[in-house]
Structure 1
């Protein structure tokens, strides 16, 4: 009668026990790693990781058992039943896989322990199925106490291992879980083998071939390690891919995709960090707002592709110039923000000099050489602000001051800037009240024929007489209206008021109304014009809408489509400020404008500048060749008017011919009179003709109002 204690592994097979232990340890670690990954994923990924877990578990458990069995020398010939050996492997894979699947399901509170117990039972069933495949020439008996103990150990330790594996809050849970699973497999095998007793039947002296058994054990170990290694490799590749993906997502979240510079989120974190350090070290933080000059012009004239290349080049320069304690981020389309923590003012001056050099040095883009330039606004912590928000706001104020001051590219914040901002905000609020309380007025400036001096029409100009501050020039409140979203409301009010006034005029002169870019971009502009003409009773051919070149150039295809819709109503279209914008001849060829308004800047220099006079002559010649009337703005002297007459200009407008005045003064001057309906206060009741221009290919439409 022999037990495993009697038949101790001899010195030739100790290394097989070591190999079995290595396979079991590596397998246990791989099993727990794969199982953890399976428990954290969903869908098809979860199924894939569970499959790898089951294969790794089956291979590790079965191979550990098989190698240890080959190391065991019962003192009698040994062989293995192939069918039962294969069944034992399948039992290990399917049983362990089912247990891990149950443990990760989370269907019950005790699912991890139940699933782990199922894994332990699979280890036991695999072991004893494998023992059924073990053929030895001897009498086999079992010690039931050891047999039962092996099963209890396997089930209990496996349940504990899986339970610990899912306790992610526990430190070293993976290592502890793998160690406990290793003990579950090893204790099952050796306790089970203690229950296994063999009494050899020595029929002859033939024994199993030890060398062949060792070679087979080594082959099984290699296959097991390959399988386990494949599982671990899958885990590590996925882990690496996840890490790379997280790094990439983190980089995308914190960096600008175009320039590679830190973005607004990174900037906010860095500014907080620098302010904290400045508090601790008694140093200062300079926040520098940077806005590129003429970048919109680059995009409009050269295309957004060139604009992007320019930004990339500038981003690379700004990234390279940064030193320790310095930081540059892209925080908007053409806006950058720099941070420097410093002690000495000379450090800040040096940083600003390097920023200016990077921003003003020409950039080679394709075959173009572009000099970008920029406006820089500087605010200091703690001198100018105590919080991040106020520091950013003050840097913006300084930057806008720099943008308005053409002589200086760098502007430091001072308290007076806040006073200006408060005054502007008050003015915006007053402007809203002026719209609601009818404090605005429309004045009209006469447009006359240069050759006959006859009146051709009037331009409607918005005026604001503030109840406290008196007359506020349009150059001051119109930009405020544009910045604060009031310009569309103002534009509609002017259009409606001008059309209502003009409908009452005798003779029926034209009225010219300016359209702002925001108003022109409005989707319902065409419907608004129809509604205004119908409600006021003004004939469509008496309304002239003026647009600047830059307004049209922003989106030429859409602009021309909208203009054709408006022109189809019979409304006249004038190109305003000609010569100051893009002055594209293609624009004049693409759309039949009813009038071109020559900008006043050329008229102001006409008497003294040969170049200005040549430009005026060229524009007038262009107008004649295209059969488009030319109106010259800003006529203030007899010499200017005489020059225009000599050059054949069609119409003129300016202080020499008449200043903008309200409708009452127009009547008093005798230039117009009001029709009977307007004089009686009954308002216009006329038929308004809204028609297509000849050649548009559209049928004239007549609507009554």
Structure 2
């Protein structure tokens, strides 16, 4: 009752209310900053603890002095400046140590111990502040109330920080704020109940001056606490912006701005769950850009990135409600469409196809664009996420192999083809070790005399179940899987070794894969093979397509010059298709041009094909480079080449590819 009487009778309740509001605001700032300290380590934690302790100390100090000003002692009150500043220092220093101790991981009861220290700091601030209390009269103290105030401060302080660090009451974020204010209030008014003031002479205190002093104290305290609040708000905004950026990076592709694979999987899961509840259907659409590797090889990776970014912007712009598109890796995208009627899906696919096939302009270059699209539908084609994605990929690969359809819907029969291809990949990886490869040779003859000038080594694979598999089928797979490097080395080594056993020193031509050229040390391999087999380097002719070196001409030129330094001849293969740059013939040290067989075969009935053949032959003559025509299948074609001055030719009319033993037999019989 003495405490309550002290509060109600001897204090200006309006100023007490002001002290309470200051305490609540300061406590809120304190525990916001303390929460930041909890989330940090090392120096960052120390910085946030210091800010929190400044907010705590200043708010405690403000509450104390406003409440002291609110105390009606019956005589004017003044304050000693030195003890006033000491009390502020005690509040801040004690709070700093208590807050730091409360976060200590090495002490089992660290929150309670730290809170008790803060309670003692509040007590020390209160009683050192009372030493600054100056009146005309005498002050008497009652030890019982002093002891009671200390008990309140220590116990409530320990409870406050236990709740702040290891909550006793869950989901009560503001409870530490209330407990902290209660700690200060109980300490202060119990401590004030411990004093009895006897004025020396009757005098009236000025309410106006007391209010002015109280607001001055508020201003000082709020400046300190406000700096902490501003630091918290700045850090909170920065943290939110950082979190937003990290979330953007984690869930979106940096190049296209589209959602990435994890985001796509989460979205698909939510769409499937919603479709299960509503009875709607969900289409998973796999998208793979066609000839994207070619763009990278010819125009460089910067152009490839520009293509992906442009496609990404187009796809993002066409989306409507219930539609989603993500880049899931490389040149692959995945779209998700929620629909009720099949026509809604078809309209979406038409918009996708239009965006993917529209011409691309990268820098000053116009590029054709196309994509293969595969569609799987929930729940018709699969009942779970993995099955839908797998079936969409199966349908997409079907579109890649079927040139008549850019969009394919999943059908069960498609999986058989995928499984067969997978089995072929596995068998291809073992074919070299099992001795299933063989070389067939196709003769190359002088057009004018019919004399044999050389042979081209052609790889054949005799599969144990499927028989002979076309190189057009297994060579792309070998290049895709990287098996072509070992296979290509075997072809080169075997061809050179067999050529050394021929009765006549004919030239041997060997094709070089672009993958070999990029990933293997071709000059070093050639040097080793020539030394091991003893084949004279002038008998070896390497055939290279222009796409092999178009991406990095400087590096390619360096490699080709190393090959030429070994004495090996170089032929540019399939000239007339692809890029067929005249600058290539001028810049690179080629010894022969090979006209692609499609022009030779069409020369009989196509004036355009004949014109192309004549142009290449004229170009060869002007550059001093002999020309070999592939694909000669009739006597009329050979006669045309003879008239036009073609130097060499090969094709079924001159000889089909066959093992060299059979060729020797045929030559012997002809003799």
TM-score range, shorter chain: over 0.9
In structure 2, do the counterparts of structure 1 residues 296 and 427 end up closer, same or farther at CA, with 3 Å as the change threshold? closer
Equivalent residue, structure 1, for 2:180:
181
SS in 2 for 1:573: strand
- Report deviation, 1:349: 1.8
Measured in 2, the distance between the counterparts of 1:133 and 1:382 equals 81
CA distance in 2, matches of 1:509, 1:445: 12
Match of 2:377?
Answer: 380
Deviation, 1:353, is: 2.1
Distance 2:310 2:276 in 1: 35
Please state if 1:558 is matched with 2:555. Answer: yes
In structure 2, relative to structure 1, the CA distance for the partners of 1:370 and 1:598 (3 Å cut) is closer
Task: State whether residues 84 and 132 of structure 1, in contact with CA within 8 Å, keep that contact through their aligned partners in structure 2.
Answer: yes
1:269 to 266, 286, 295: 266
Supply the distance in 1 between the matched residues of 2:339 and 2:563 (Cα, whole angstroms).
Answer: 59
Once the two structures are TM-superposed, the CA of residue 148 in structure 1 deviates from its matched residue by 0.5
Q: Residues 37 and 359 of structure 1: is their aligned pair in 2 closer, same or farther, counting only changes over 3 Å?
A: same
1:318 and 1:412 map into 2 onto residues whose CA distance is 20
Spell out, residue by residue over 1:494-526, the C-alpha distance to the aligned partner (whole angstroms, 9 max, x if none).
111101101112221211111112221223333
Residues of 2 paired with 1:452 and 1:169: CA distance?
Answer: 103
Counterparts of residues 391-406 of structure 1 (less than 5 Å): 391-406=388-403
Cα distance per residue 1:607-642 (max 9 Å; x no partner): 222222222222222222222221111111222222
What is the aligned residue count? 669
Who is 2:157 aligned against? 158
> Quick one: structure 1 residues 565 and 360, their matched pair in 2 at CA, closer, same or farther if it must change by over 3 Å?
same
1:44 equivalent in alignment to 2:70 = no
Of 629, 635, 658, which residue of structure 2 is paired with 1:638? 635
Q: Distance in 2 between matches of 1:453 and 1:382?
A: 66
* Aligned equivalents of 2:160, 2:92: Cα separation in 1: 18
* Cα distance in 1 between the residues matched to 2:264 and 2:543: 43
Partner of 2:129: 130
- Do the aligned residues in 1 keep the contact of 2:512 with 2:542 (CA within 8 Å)? yes
| Secondary structure, aligned partner of 2:329 | coil
Alignment of 1:404-423 (within 5 A): 404-423=401-420
How far has the Cα of 1:101 moved from its partner? 0.9
Alpha-carbon distance between aligned partners in 2 of 1:175 and 1:115, rounded to the nearest angstrom: 19
Whether 1:579 and 2:576 are equivalent positions in the alignment is yes
CA distances 1:549-568 after superposition (whole Å, capped 9, x unpaired): 11111332222222222222
Q: What are the superposed Cα offsets for residues 183-210 of structure 1, whole Å, 9 maximum, x if unpaired?
A: 11111110000001111111xx555554
**CA spacing shift, 1:143–1:438, aligned 2, 3 Å:** same
User: How far apart, CA to CA, are the structure 1 residues paired with 2:64 and 2:587?
Assistant: 88
Segment drifting more, 245-254 vs 474-483: 474-483
**CA RMSD in angstroms, aligned pairs only:** 2.4
SS of 1:394's equivalent in the other structure is: helix
Match of 2:566 among 562, 566, 569: 569
SS in 1 for 2:372: strand
TM-score (ref. length: structure 2): 0.94
CA distance in 1, matches of 2:77, 2:191: 18
Moved more, 583-592 or 169-178: 169-178
* Shift of residue 389, structure 1, vs aligned partner: 2.2
Q: 1:7 to 1:642 in 2, by over 3 A?
A: closer
Q: 1:583 to 1:412 in 2, by over 3 A?
A: same
Query: 2: distance between equivalents of 1:336 and 1:378?
Result: 12
Residues 147 and 168 from structure 1, CA distance in 2 versus in 1: closer, same or farther, beyond 3 angstroms?
closer
Q: Deviations over 1:516-551 (max 9, x none)?
A: 122212233332222222221212222111111111
- Which deviates more, 613-622 or 165-174? 165-174
Per-residue deviation at 1:442? Answer: 0.5
Structure 1: stretches of 5+ with no match in the other structure: 674-705
CA drift of 1:449 comes to 1.6
- 495, 499, 504: which is aligned to 1:498? 495
| 2:517 is equivalent to residue 520 of structure 1 | yes
Q: Which structure 2 segments of 5+ residues have no match?
A: none
Distance 1:297 1:480, change over 3 A: closer
Pick closer, same or farther for the CA change 1:671–1:34 going to 2, 3 Å: farther
Taking structure 1 as the reference length, the TM-score comes to: 0.90
Counterpart CA distance in 1 for 2:76 and 2:648 is 123
After the TM superposition, which residues 615-634 of structure 1 pair with which residues of structure 2 at under 5 Å, given as runs?
Answer: 615-634=612-631
- Aligned partner of residue 561 in structure 1, secondary structure: helix
Task: Give 1:94 shift.
Answer: 0.7
> Does residue 1:455 correspond to 2:452, yes or no?
yes
Distance 1:55-1:6 versus aligned 2 partners, 3 A rule: closer
When residues 337 and 7 of structure 1 are mapped into structure 2, their CA distance, relative to the original with a 3 A threshold, is closer
2:506 counterpart of 1:509 = yes
